[in-house]
Amino acid sequence: MADLFAGIGTSHVPGIGAAVDKGMTQNDYWKPLFDGYEPAREWLAKEAPDVVIIVYNDHASAFSMELIPTFALGVAAEFQPADEGYGPRKVPTVQGHPELAWHLAESLILDEFDMTIVNEMPVDHGLTVPLSITCGQPEAWPFKVIPLCVNVIQYPQPTGNRCYQLGKAIRRAVDSFDRDLKVAIFGTGGMSHQLQGERAGLVNAEFDIAFLDDLTRNVDRLVNISHVEYMRESGSEGAELVMWMIMRGALDDDAKELYRHFHVPASNTAAGLIILENP
């Protein structure tokens, strides 16, 4: 049977990807951030999952205002890096896992989560930066990826509770997939940041540290954080953290924290990373 054994929460700041692509990870600005990623890379390489479900958001790349799916699941065999205005990132093509992805789609929809099913979807920094953070610069990504794209740009985003419940449904789906696969899930985005307006640059480290703490200590509090609380306390783009709740929902209630790293700033953002593992 497929086994969903662990989750990673991580920011997906485009500047982090650019630092990797331009070979700047060891300069004074970026080194403290990347040094903190090293233990996570070693852990992931050792665990060697077959498939990773990456929960992320598209930033006006694959989707525009023309079509705004709340939850879109990528079922294709491969996904190309998107052109976000600079030309596509020079990173490997992302290989999908159509069998598990279609099983997820079928199971989730019958479980009353009405997913949008996507066959053609370029993937932007929201998905490829977490791969760079956790894998560095390999010739090919070391596992298959199932993209789960969440609308967090157009208000209202799905609620934290809906995301958490979707995570639980994903777990039921993976548990019922009749093939021996080692599966991990990434929740990406955040942590506190505001890109827009006169309040640009907002960071709330206290909010972020409490969020990291409560992923294992008080999940109920996190599930119930409202949109307005996210926007006010963690910046208008901090609401991306609802995507971490999908990851958390997919893990056991008593999942353990293995590792965390928190660093300010990565460009305009507080960057966080946490590894949670089922007992």
Partner 1 sequence: MREDRIYSDIPGTYVFDPQHSMQGYHLNMFCMSLNKPENREKFRQDEESYLDRFPLTPEQRQAVLNRDWVGMLRLGGNIYYTFKIAIFDGLSMQQVGALMSGVETEAFQKMMVDGGRPIEGNRFKSEWHNNG
Q: Which of residues 46-85 bind partner 1 (CB under 8 A)?
A: 59-61, 64-66, 82-85
The answer to whether 193 is a known catalytic residue is yes
Tell me which residue has tokens 């089922």. 278
Which of 193, 227, 261, 263 is an active site residue? 193
Helix (H, G, I), strand (E, B) or coil at 56: strand
Dihedral class, residue 242 (left if φ above 0, else alpha if ψ from -120 to 50, else beta):
alpha
From residue 72, how far is each of 22, 55, 79, 144 by CA, in Å? Answer: 31, 10, 14, 17
| Residue 188 within binding range of partner 1, rule CB under 8 A | no
Binds partner 1 (CB under 8 A): choice among 8, 163, 202, 274: 202
DSSP state of 159: P
Residue 274 as a binder of partner 1 (CB under 8 A): the answer is no
Options 19-27, 31-39, 165-173, 228-236: segment touching partner 1 (CB under 8 A): 228-236
Q: Which two tokens stand for residue 276?
A: 């949670």
Residues touching partner 1, count (CB under 8 A): 46
Shortest Å distance, C-beta 41 to partner 1? 25
Q: Which of 44, 135, 145, 203 binds partner 1 (CB under 8 A)?
A: 203
Rule CB under 8 A: is residue 107 a binding residue for partner 1?
no
- Tokens read off for 234: 């963690």
121 contact partners, CB below 8 Å, separation of at least 6 = 62, 72, 74, 76, 79, 147, 149
Task: Tell me, yes or no, if 125 is annotated catalytic.
Answer: yes
Task: Supply the minimum distance, in Å, between the C-beta of residue 141 and partner 1.
Answer: 23
Catalytic residue, candidates 125, 227, 261, 263: 125
Q: Are 74 and 121 in contact (CB under 8 A)?
A: yes
Toward partner 1, which CB reaches closer, 205 or 258? 205
What is the amino acid identity at position 249?
G
Binding letters toward partner 1, positions 143-172, x by CB under 8 A = ----------xxxx----------------
| 120, 198, 220, 254: residue in contact with partner 1 (rule CB under 8 A) | 198
- Which 9-28 positions form the footprint of partner 1 (CB under 8 A)? 14-15
* Shortest Cβ 78–partner 1 spacing (Å): 20
User: Would you state the structure tokens that stand for residue 171, as one six-digit string?
Assistant: 């777990």
Per rule CB under 8 A, is residue 210 in the interface with partner 1? no
274 pairs with which residues across the strands? 9, 260
Angle at 276 between CA 113 and CA 77, to 5 degrees: 50
How many other C-beta atoms can be found within 10 angstroms of the C-beta atom of residue 77?
A: 12
SS3 81: strand
Q: Which residues pair with 52 in a beta bridge?
A: 145, 184
* 35 touching partner 1, by CB under 8 A: no
Piece of 89-97, 189-197, 213-221, 254-262 that binds partner 1 (CB under 8 A): 189-197
- List Cα–Cα distances, 234 to 167, 193, 210, 211, in angstroms: 22, 6, 12, 10
228 binds partner 1 (CB under 8 A): yes
Q: Name the residues annotated as catalytic.
A: 125, 193
Residues in contact with partner 1 by the rule CB under 8 A: 14-15, 59-61, 64-66, 82-87, 153-156, 192-207, 227-228, 231-233, 236-237, 264-265, 267-268, 270
